[in-house]
Amino acid sequence: MRINASSKEAKIANDLAEQLQSYFVQNLDGIAKEFGNAQNCEAVEWFRDEGRHGGGVRFEARDEKIFNRGSVNVSQVHYDDDQSKKLSSATAISCIIHPRNPHAPSMHMHFSWTQMRDGKGYWRLMADLNPSLLPSTNDKEIFDDMLAKAAGKEYLEEGLAQGNRYFNIPVLKCTRGVSHFYLENFNTGSFERDKSYVEQFAKKVIDAYTHIITNALKNNPSYTKEKKQIQIDYHTLYLLQVLTLDRGTTSGLLVHSQNDIGIMGSIPSHVNRDLLTSWINKMPEPQHELLEALLTALPKENPTPVEDETKTKLANVVRVHYKKYPEALSMQASGETVPPTVDNHK
């Protein structure tokens, strides 16, 4: 049995996360019904310490005509029975959608409430648009406009700046995606007001992305092999960013191995191992060793499939590397550090 956190704020945050999860899943199922094989997302439950310290439910996209990979994850980890922990609970909704059609961009969002033992807490808000092809001006404008309205003038500049830093890939001199927002330590002093802010923000992200992917599938029902290869190459860059730079992913993997498949839900179905290999010499020490080990864990064929068994191997590679080189954690994304108890996937 999965036991939820006992604090009032954690319960409210979990209810919000589940409501947003249901809302997004309904939208994704609607897209599958309109453009795909009408195959709904499927729930998968996981448990932290057999449920004693929480766990979560993720909905995985199953309509392969529409989705390359897709996961809408809600998780809550808590330590109500361990007063020695400074962290009381961490509650999050974390989503990544990779459409099969390369004309439809990927999207990631993460909203979470972290509460400490003394009762103090804060929200984290993340949203980013990730096209594999050069984005139509319209798609980026829709997402940028949404972020401006959702964030408001007071927080927009800070969120965009943190987002651009967090998703930067220095060795390739580019960012993952074209529109990024990341707001850390959000707490104005009113939990209810902040919760409402997060709720409207998340719904705007979901609505904007639903509009973008729907338009993309309507306007581009087919695609060429060349466009598909561009998508695979982009997905390779995505894997590089997630497994070598993303603090949330690394933190989740280092804390435990009970949700490796969920944490690695952001990895696309196929990558280009030849392209990935070409980046080894660009990596600083000791990160070149990490990339070499990741390549060893990947299948040899190209395009290179990344199924659950491979995800488990990749997760273990990351754990082994940072236990050997803990100082390398400082080389990850320069945004604020993500607490290592939220099971993020990006």
CATH number of residue 159's parent domain: 3.40.1500.10
Q: What is the pLDDT of residues 49-79, one digit of tens each?
A: 999 999 999 999 999 999 999 999 999 999 9
Asked, for residue 137, whether it belongs to a domain, the answer is yes
Asked, for residue 302, whether it belongs to a domain, the answer is no
Asked, for residue 286, whether it belongs to a domain, the answer is no
Asked, for residue 228, whether it belongs to a domain, the answer is no
CA dist., res. 225 & res. 218, Å (int): 19
Asked, for residue 109, whether it belongs to a domain, the answer is yes
Asked, for residue 83, whether it belongs to a domain, the answer is yes
Tell me the pTM: 0.94
176 closest CA partner among 267, 87, 86:
267
Asked, for residue 243, whether it belongs to a domain, the answer is no
Q: What is the pLDDT of residues 203-222, one digit of tens each?
A: 999 999 999 999 999 999 99
Per the structure, the complete domain to which residue 182 belongs is given by: 8-223
Asked, for residue 212, whether it belongs to a domain, the answer is yes
Q: Are strands 87-99 and 106-116 parallel, antiparallel or unpaired?
A: antiparallel
Q: What is the pLDDT of residues 269-279, one digit of tens each?
A: 999 999 999 99
Give the pLDDT confidence score for residue 334 in this predicted structure: 59
| Number of domain units in the chain | 1
CA dist., res. 294 & res. 23, Å (int): 35
